[in-house]
């Protein structure tokens, strides 16, 4: 009889994920990120078009968003470190960085909640004007998707899952978090840098709103 081939192992005898399972989960993640990216692209297009109209009143500078962005960047860096260490079989260090990544991501969400509360306290609520509404919509949906990523992060807590499964899930989670970071940078740049004048030029409505 022909011997059954064994799956390769990481250092320390940790087996890697089976190729067909890894490919299926990777394709599913790419598909999901494509759908989410398309949704936000449509909302950003609507954001630019709505900004070009004359009744748009921009929000005041929100400096706390810079701090929140730094926390999300740090969370993604540490999450990538956790995934890389899991692939090398350094499970204790991987679990340590996994915990730190979750804390930083939760801090980002907490910072966003503080920003929303502060804006409402300064009378820049959701229904104040279109700029307010779009700000809460875009940042709120992004935070909601990050909370979904935190659910996947929490699913890595049980110790009963195999090392191979943990390494595969960490890698996929890290990819999703990097996607959310890239998405946030685009949203943040639009919030900080786009002005009604730029939006009018992009939409060809420079004379609108007089």
The CATH number of whichever domain residue 123 belongs to comes to: 1.20.120.80
Where helices occur in 88-161 by DSSP H, the ranges are: 91-121, 130-154
pLDDT tens-digit profile of 142-199? 999 999 999 999 988 877 778 888 889 899 999 999 999 999 999 999 998 877 778 7
What distance in Å separates the CA atoms of residue 181 and residue 29, rounded to the nearest whole number?
Answer: 15
Residue 165: inside a domain: yes
Residue 144 belongs to some domain of the structure: yes
Q: Measured between alpha carbons, how far is 24 from 168 in angstroms, rounded to an integer?
A: 12
- Provide the whole-model pTM: 0.83
- Range(s) of the domain holding residue 106: 61-195
From the number of C-beta atoms within 10 Å of its C-beta (0-12, 13-18, 19+), residue 83 rates as: buried
pLDDT at 205: 64
**pLDDT band for position 17 (50/70/90)?**
very low
| pLDDT value at residue 21 | 58
> Which bin fits 55, alpha (ψ -120 to 50), beta or left (φ > 0)?
alpha
Flag whether 71 is in a domain.
yes
Specify the number of domains making up the chain.
Answer: 1
* pLDDT bucket at 25, cuts 50 / 70 / 90: confident
User: What local confidence, expressed as pLDDT, does residue 206 receive?
Assistant: 59
For residue 15, being part of any structural domain is answered with no
Taking the C-alpha atoms of residue 106 and residue 150, their distance in angstroms, rounded to an integer, is 8
Q: pLDDT tens digits for 42-63?
A: 999 999 888 888 788 888 889 9
Residue 117 is assigned to a structural domain of this protein: yes
Q: Kindly state whether residue 7 falls inside one of the protein's structural domains.
A: no
Percentage of residues in the chain with pLDDT exceeding 90?
56
Whole-angstrom distance, CA of residue 147 vs CA of residue 141: 10
Quick check: is 40 in a domain?
no
Tell me whether residue 174 is in a domain.
Answer: yes
């Amino acid at each position: 009889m022909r011997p059954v081939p064994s799956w390769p192992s990481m250092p320390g005898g940790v087996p890697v994920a089976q190729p067909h399972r890894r490919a299926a989960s990777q394709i599913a993640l790419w598909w999901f990120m494509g759908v989410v990216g398309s949704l936000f692209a449509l909302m950003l297009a609507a954001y630019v078009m709505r900004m070009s109209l004359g009744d748009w009143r921009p929000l005041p500078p929100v400096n706390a968003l810079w701090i929140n962005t730094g926390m999300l960047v740090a969370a993604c860096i540490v999450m990538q470190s956790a995934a890389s260490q899991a692939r090398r079989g350094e499970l204790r260090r991987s679990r340590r960085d996994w915990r730190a990544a979750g804390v930083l991501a939760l801090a980002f969400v907490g910072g966003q909640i503080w920003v929303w509360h502060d804006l409402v306290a300064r009378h820049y609520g959701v229904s104040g004007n279109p700029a307010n509404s779009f700000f809460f919509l875009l940042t709120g949906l992004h935070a909601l998707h990050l909370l979904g990523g935190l659910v996947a992060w929490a699913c890595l807590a049980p110790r009963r899952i195999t090392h191979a499964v943990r390494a595969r899930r960490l890698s996929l989670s890290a990819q999703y978090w990097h996607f959310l970071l890239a998405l946030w940078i685009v949203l943040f740049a639009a919030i900080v840098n786009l002005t009604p004048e730029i939006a009018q030029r992009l939409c060809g409505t420079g004379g609108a709103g007089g």
